[in-house]
Amino acid sequence: MQDKQLSQPGNADSAAAKEHAPINWTNMVLFTSTPILAVILVPLFGFVYGYSVYDWVMFVLMMGFCGISITAGYHRLWSHKAYKAHPALRFIFALGGACALQNDVFNWASDHRRHHAFVDNNDRDPYSAGRGFWFSHIGWIVRHYPSGVQDFSNIKDLQKDPILQWQHKHYLALVLFMNIAVPAFIGYLGGSIMAGLLLSGLLRLVLSQHVTYLINSLAHMWGRQPYSDKSSARDNSLLAFLTYGEGYHNYHHTFQWDYRNGIRWWHFDPTKWLIRSCEWLGLTSDLKRVSPLSIETARLEMQYRHASERCSTLANAEKWRARLEEEYLQLKATLDLWAKHRQEWYEAKTSQLHDQIHEKWDRLALRDSYREVRYRLKLQRQRWQDLMHNFANQQASAA
């Protein structure tokens, strides 16, 4: 087993944080020149010639195409194997990834898998947030850091995919085609090749890159940690809106194999919606989901642990600690019972077990038992939330 001792974020003693790595001049020129050109040329052309509604619509569509290709393709499909995709969809994602200009899948997925394996380790995480916003956002790309050395030993499964082999072999040609020829053609159809190159090409390229990089940087610094504090990853609804659902990053780092990042119906996660919609069309399959019990247990344990740690600041600390433990154990037991009944009920509805239950009374009894436990869980959750609310009020009063 590999040694995964972590250097904590902000550890000034890390050898990696002190080094002066050589500049990657190709990336330095690219990531310096494109934002400068976008800031100058895009508004200048707009002021002199203007952009049509068509130009802006195509810009938005190209932004979405590149973004979804990274989130649904590079990230959830290839890096985490959260689902399987039809070759046609994999081909589209490979093109979109080249358009996003974030390296080929082999390099991207290899870096990302190391990020998850050694998250926050300043010496081994390619874009560790512990080395600051600039480094994790883009600094790791413009210098040759040891933590970013190419190593494909963790993507042997991906190297067997002929579509990814093709993308890796022809990556430069695909980049030029997708970032110059395609935007120029889009502009030609709209009546202005230059407008297409500037909006669907240059501006889209700069924005799509930096929106993605916010997940490496800001999503490890700003937000909530409802599921785990074992890494710096955080949930942030604003970042989720900007990044096609990737902003629920604490959930993702806790349950990285789930095809979803936003698990609630109100969570903005268009990547999840696309993957699920493609399942209905036969383009995706084997969508992996974390069990509701695992999710609820992770949330409960985080709340219980943090509340327990703060008990010592309250008057009658032992009384609060005893009540907290009692409610925690009751809720955990109810969660386990609910999960058991839920599994039995769903199996009865969807599997051969349904055919084996001949008596209508037995089926009704199973359904009613599940509903009863579900109602008990609802009441127990409400009691827990009330306790957390009272606990917060007591802590505020003590402060």
For residue range 109-123, list pLDDT tens digits in order: 999 999 999 999 999
Average pLDDT, the chain: 86
Are residues 79 and 167 both part of a single domain? yes
Compute φ and ψ for 85, nearest 5 degrees: -130, 150
Q: Which tokens sit at 359?
A: 């008596």
The answer on pLDDT for 389 being more than 80 is no
Q: Where residue 31 falls among pLDDT bands split at 50, 70, 90?
A: very high
Tell me: the pLDDT tens digits for 323-333? 778 777 877 88
Is residue 162, in this structure, part of any structural domain at all?
Answer: yes
Q: Which tokens sit at 379?
A: 């009441």
The single-letter DSSP state of residue 154 is G
Are residues 390 and 279 both part of a single domain? no
* Cα distance between residue 42 and residue 58, in whole Å: 15
Is residue 5, in this structure, part of any structural domain at all?
Answer: no
Q: Where residue 129 falls among pLDDT bands split at 50, 70, 90?
A: very high
Q: Which residues contact 140 (CB under 8 A, 6 or more apart)?
A: 126, 127, 147, 148
Are residues 297 and 280 both part of a single domain? no
Q: What is the reported pLDDT for 37?
A: 97
Mean pLDDT over residues 117-141, rounded?
A: 94
Q: Which tokens sit at 120?
A: 């926050």
Is residue 9, in this structure, part of any structural domain at all?
Answer: no
Q: Which residues contact 380 (CB under 8 A, 6 or more apart)?
A: 330, 331, 334
Are residues 220 and 307 both part of a single domain? no
Is residue 67, in this structure, part of any structural domain at all?
Answer: yes
Tell me: the pLDDT tens digits for 269-320? 999 999 999 999 999 999 999 988 899 889 888 888 877 777 777 667 777 7
Are residues 123 and 203 both part of a single domain? yes
Are residues 341 and 231 both part of a single domain? no
Q: Which of 238, 253, 285 is the last residue of a domain?
A: 285
DSSP string computed for 192-216 = -HHHHIIIIIIIHHHHHHHHHHHHH
Q: What is the reported pLDDT for 177?
A: 97
Q: pTM to 2 decimals?
A: 0.85
Are residues 137 and 277 both part of a single domain? yes
Are residues 266 and 313 both part of a single domain? no
CA distances from 88 to 50, 168, 277 (A): 37, 17, 15
Burial 313-352 (b: 16+ CB within 10 A, else e): ebeeeeebeeebeebbeebbebbeebbebbeebeebeeee
The answer on pLDDT for 4 being more than 50 is no
Q: Are 17 and 11 in contact (CB under 8 A)?
A: yes
Sign of CA dihedral 230, 235, 236, 239: positive
Q: Which residues constitute the domain of residue 174?
A: 15-285
Helical segments of the chain, H only: 15-18, 25-48, 53-68, 87-100, 105-117, 133-134, 140-142, 162-169, 171-176, 182-190, 193-196, 204-216, 237-242, 249-254, 270-280, 292-310, 317-350, 352-356, 360-398
Q: What is the reported pLDDT for 341?
A: 67
Q: Where residue 363 falls among pLDDT bands split at 50, 70, 90?
A: low
Q: What is the reported pLDDT for 272?
A: 97
- Residue of 267, 329, 265 lying closest to 300 (CA atoms): 329
Is residue 71, in this structure, part of any structural domain at all?
Answer: yes
Q: Are 249 and 215 in contact (CB under 8 A)?
A: yes
The single-letter DSSP state of residue 6 is P
Q: Which residues contact 126 (CB under 8 A, 6 or more apart)?
A: 111, 114, 115, 140, 145, 147, 148
Are residues 76 and 99 both part of a single domain? yes
Q: What is the reported pLDDT for 19?
A: 56
Mean pLDDT lowest among 3-7, 210-214, 259-263: 3-7
The single-letter DSSP state of residue 23 is B
Q: Which of 228, 251, 285 is the last residue of a domain?
A: 285
What number of other Cβ atoms are within 10 A of residue 72's Cβ? 29
The domain total for the chain is 2
Is residue 6, in this structure, part of any structural domain at all?
Answer: no
Q: Where residue 188 falls among pLDDT bands split at 50, 70, 90?
A: very high
Q: What is the reported pLDDT for 345?
A: 62
Q: Which of 237, 255, 285 is the last residue of a domain?
A: 285
Are residues 31 and 93 both part of a single domain? yes
Are residues 257 and 342 both part of a single domain? no
Is residue 8, in this structure, part of any structural domain at all?
Answer: no
Are residues 134 and 270 both part of a single domain? yes
Q: What is the reported pLDDT for 365?
A: 61
Q: Are 207 and 124 in contact (CB under 8 A)?
A: no
Is residue 1, in this structure, part of any structural domain at all?
Answer: no
Q: Where residue 362 falls among pLDDT bands split at 50, 70, 90?
A: low
Q: What is the reported pLDDT for 16?
A: 46
